[in-house]
Every structure is written in structure tokens, then in C-alpha cells.
Amino acid sequence: MSPPDDFLKTIQRMSRKDLGQLNKSQYSRAERRMINDELVRRSDERKANKSTGKTKSRHPETSSWSLYPELLGNVDNKLKKPFTFYDVDDGGLPSLKEYDTFVTGDFQCSKRCSSRGWSSGKIAISIRLYEGDQYNARIYHQRCRRCNTVRRPTLDAETFQLLMGPPLDARAIF
């Protein structure tokens, strides 16, 4: 292992408190950058864990968003340049750009609720561009007005075809 790798391993083993208390003036510029990068990585990781929980929840009613790789794969055909669907959204790879918009869809509530379901013309969606020509989209869930449970939308493939329109450069939407 090279000295920078050893230093990186050392700071990765340190607690956040100890890492924050380091006297950075004692370190080289490259080492200070590694310390700062590690602090930022941990901060981003903590925010991601706090706000979203699991990325692909087995209990969608408790999650606030979902990824739809089966539908978003259809969008690839509309892009001039090939992009890969990034099916992990855990805060590990920071997005380069983000674009927020809305889609339409339907929601079904639980059998115990007096509401059978509802349609929404304004379901929030965040499309993210990642390094290596990768993208994904978070589609956010909504709450039932009657029983207050969070429900995952049912989306139609046509929604995404309309969203993307004619072939385009995906970077244009960002």
C-alpha cells in the first residue's frame, strides 16, 4: 500500500468527532483534501440515511419514494446518446445534476381504508444525472387523505414517453 492509501484507511477508521478535531495545518495539502472529502462523504451519507431509509424498500408504504427501473428503461430509447439506468440511490455516488418535474399516476389505498384510491396529475419526480452517463429518477409517494398512509403510485409507461417527448440529449433537461 502506498502512503496516501495508508492515510486514507487511517482516517476512514477514525470517528467523526476525532476526524473533525484534527489540526489540519499539520497535514499536507493532499492529506487535508482527503480529510475534507471524508467529512463530506460522511455528512452526505448521514443525510441520505436520515431522509430516505432503504433505497428499494420491501415496504413501499413506509418509504417516501421509489425507483422504477422497469419503466425508466423505456426512456433509454428516447435518448440520442446511450445512458445507463443507475438503480442504486443510496447517496454513495453524488449526482452531477438534478431535474425536478411531475408525472401522473394512480394510487390504491389499503383494503381497510374507506378510500379505494385516487389519481394524481402532480406526482413529484427527481431525475438525476451521474458520472459515466448514468441516470435514475425518484418517484415520490403520496399520502391518502382519509387514512394518512403513504402509498406508492402506479405509473403508466406512456407517462414516461410523454415526459421525454421526441429523442433528445438527456443533458439538455439538466
pTM for the full model? 0.54
Please state at what angle helix 29-52 crosses helix 3-13, rounded to 10 degrees. 40
Residue 58: what residue type?
R
Buried b (16+ CB within 10 A) or exposed e, 133-153: ebbbbbbbbbebeeeeebbbb
CA distance 172 to 174: 5
pLDDT at residue 159 in the model: 61
Phi/psi of residue 30, nearest 5 degrees = -65, -40
Per-run averaged pLDDT (10 residues), the chain, 174 residues: 79 83 85 81 58 43 73 60 74 79 84 82 85 84 87 75 52 52
Say if CB 64 and CB 56 are below 8 A apart: no
